[in-house]
Structure 1
Amino acid sequence: MAISLPRPLHALTADELTAAAKDRRWPKWQTMALLHSLQLPVLNACLIEPGHSTAALRTAAHVLAAATGTEKLMIRSDGGVEKKQYYRGGNTFPVEEIPSRTAGLLADGRAVILAEPTNRFTNRLTVLIRMDRPGPRRPGSLTLEALGPGYDVADLTRGQIPPQVTAHLDDIDWDHYQPPRWNEWNITGDRCPGGEDARRHRRVERLATQTLTDGGHLDGTVGAEHAEAWLRERGFLHLFAPQPTREALAKRARRLFEDAFFLAAAQPNRNWHCLATAFSVFDEPRTIYWDLVDGERKYAATAPAAARDEERAA
């Protein structure tokens, strides 16, 4: 049977989005489809499953680039068996480099998500959103962890950089919507040893050894001062500007709570205990959600396990 050509997420029909949102083989793509079906902002992207030809990959990349009006695309990976050296996605590359840069991922059995590019150095606000509860119909909590200008999602999810501001709500009934009062929010400030200078240094260190090296901008043997110089030379000064993160988070906290409640109600695992997603405000300005992570289903199901789940759900 012929494999259909990948299509951009924003071009999928409602039925196609519903099918993608139920496919646990590709967890990131599954939740991107769910987010888009709920009309929450998400990057336009396409999924390249293992087995597609290089020609199909090249065609999909050009179609997505044309749809988004860009000559570069972001590369992410999804599903498959993860290894110790996990692919750090999120960097952007020229369309003509996409086949060579994704060949290894596809050969390892991982899917590739191509997405419209973002600038990882000019974000205005980054928020990690975590929803917790001990079990269904039991009260839980919401935690918002935020970083301000010049940081990105990876700093919170895998960069071990502490948030500048944390907002927390307890005693949330995730089954019945009740808007929180302002006095119910517990907001705490900077708890990074060494303060903002130490946090900024950790950010530029990570840029030097990972982000800028992975993107081909630095060679990986240089230090934080080289990453800082690279940013300043290109006018990416957001990281070195004032950080009004508390005010920015307070402005959006109510809406983030509403979106979190909406997501918790819509995601397919009704027995969830911990869900997490990330939210970014770009410099344009533009807002997007990344993928929704279910703590109990972090990794893709194997084919037999997925089949058993479908049988139980039938």
Structure 2
Amino acid sequence: MHSQSAEELAAAANDRRWPKWQTMALLHSLHLPTLNAALLRPGQSLAEIRTAAQAFATKLDTERLMIRSDGGVERKQYYRGGNTFPIGEIAHRAQPLLADGRAVILAGPTNRFTNKLTVMIRMDRPGPGIRGTFTLEALGPGYDVADLTRGELPPQVTAQLEDVDWDRYAKPRWDEWKFTGDRCPGGEGARRRRRLERLAAQTLADGGQLAGDPQPEHAESWLRERGYLQLFGPQDPRPALMRRASKLFEDAFVLTRAQPNRNWRCLATAYSVFAEPRTVYWDLVDGERKYAAAAPDAARAKEAA
């Protein structure tokens, strides 16, 4: 993606068949930080997948790539992507997704166990021309975006602006921000355990690091053995969120102006601060369109190719 021309990015940003890829192209065209990525479409052969994965990995100078799925109608039981795998595993993991009519996004590798900050960003309004709200929900070290989206973990801190004019940018004053602290039932211990449960049952099981019937204790041992101790350290993301809040609002305002649905009511994106340090926006979700766009089935895609 990072080597695409402005014309190619514009075309990708207007292709609704692949919503994640579409909005990644939009984010990159706006010069917001994104992972470098490549798109595999339904109908591509196993040999084509292997060739594309190897070429992309060589370009990134890496031996591992992340897999995400894209397009089609998302069902409740769909592949939870975002894990990173060795190049040799990419083809056999990607092929079933392509056969099911979904595209596959290959992206540069990340370590989802060592994030410094994870933020879910929401832009809401009742309708065009009506003032709305801007909300940031954050988790601190050792958590990742999926904890806020799929894991439904309560944020450790929330920041909100009310009465936002989404048609005219104005830098918010500090006294306009409303910060809310942790409201997780059971506190940080309960949240951490739910994170470990998800890692055991989904992330580490999918990656092959844990087998059988993995429990939260197994996930904790796996993290500690590798020195991934961020989840078990101090958890106070408020200072980090406060430092970035105004810039995140500025980026969000730009996104609302650039995305194609002028009648939007709820938009959301996610933002990560990695350990490197490096920051990344993931993709932009339009609440009205998330489940609306359907990709062509594998047979039609293969015929078109």
Query: TM-score, normalising length from structure 2?
Result: 0.95
Match of 1:79 in 2: 71
Instruction: Determine the C-alpha separation between the residues in 1 that align with 2:292 and 2:106.
Output: 19
Instruction: Determine the C-alpha separation between the residues in 1 that align with 2:212 and 2:28.
Output: 36
1:144-179 deviations in whole A, cap 9, x for unaligned?
A: 000000000000001021000000100111110011
1:209 matches 2:201? yes
1:15 matches 2:30? no
The residue type equivalent to 1:298 in the other structure is K
**Which deviates the most, 52-61 or 115-124?**
52-61
Tell me the number of residue pairs that the alignment of Structure 1 and Structure 2 aligns.
Answer: 296
Would the aligned equivalents of 2:101 and 2:295 in 1 still touch at CA under 8 Å? no
The residue type equivalent to 1:168 in the other structure is Q
Match of 1:157 in 2: 149
Instruction: Determine the C-alpha separation between the residues in 1 that align with 2:95 and 2:48.
Output: 12
Would the aligned equivalents of 1:21 and 1:30 in 2 still touch at CA under 8 Å? yes
Would the aligned equivalents of 2:72 and 2:295 in 1 still touch at CA under 8 Å? no
Match of 2:232 in 1: 240
**What SS is found at the alignment partner of 2:197?**
helix
Would the aligned equivalents of 1:81 and 1:109 in 2 still touch at CA under 8 Å? no
**What SS is found at the alignment partner of 2:280?**
strand
Counterparts in 2 of 1:258 and 1:134: CA distance versus 1, 3 Å = same
Q: 1:224 aligns with which of 197, 216, 229?
A: 216
Counterparts in 2 of 1:220 and 1:290: CA distance versus 1, 3 Å = farther
For 1:103-114, what aligned pairs fall within 5 Å after superposition? Answer: 103-114=95-106
**What SS is found at the alignment partner of 2:244?**
helix
* Unmatched 5+ stretches in structure 2: 297-305
1:128 positional shift:
0.1
Instruction: Determine the C-alpha separation between the residues in 1 that align with 2:76 and 2:55.
Output: 33
1:232-281 deviations in whole A, cap 9, x for unaligned?
A: 00000000111130111001001100000011111011110000000000
Match of 1:58 in 2: 50
For 1:115-134, what aligned pairs fall within 5 Å after superposition? Answer: 115-134=107-126
1:44-82 deviations in whole A, cap 9, x for unaligned?
A: 001101112222211211121112221010010001233
Root-mean-square deviation (CA, aligned residues, Å) is 1.2
Instruction: Determine the C-alpha separation between the residues in 1 that align with 2:4 and 2:241.
Output: 33
Match of 2:31 in 1: 39
**What SS is found at the alignment partner of 1:278?**
strand
Superposition misfits of 4+ residues, deviation over 4 angstroms = none
Q: Percent of aligned positions with the same letter in both sequences?
A: 73
Match of 1:142 in 2: 134
Instruction: Determine the C-alpha separation between the residues in 1 that align with 2:142 and 2:26.
Output: 28
1:220 positional shift:
4.9
Instruction: Determine the C-alpha separation between the residues in 2 that align with 1:220 and 1:156.
Output: 26
1:96 matches 2:96? no
* Unmatched 5+ stretches in structure 1: 1-8, 305-314
Match of 1:270 in 2: 262
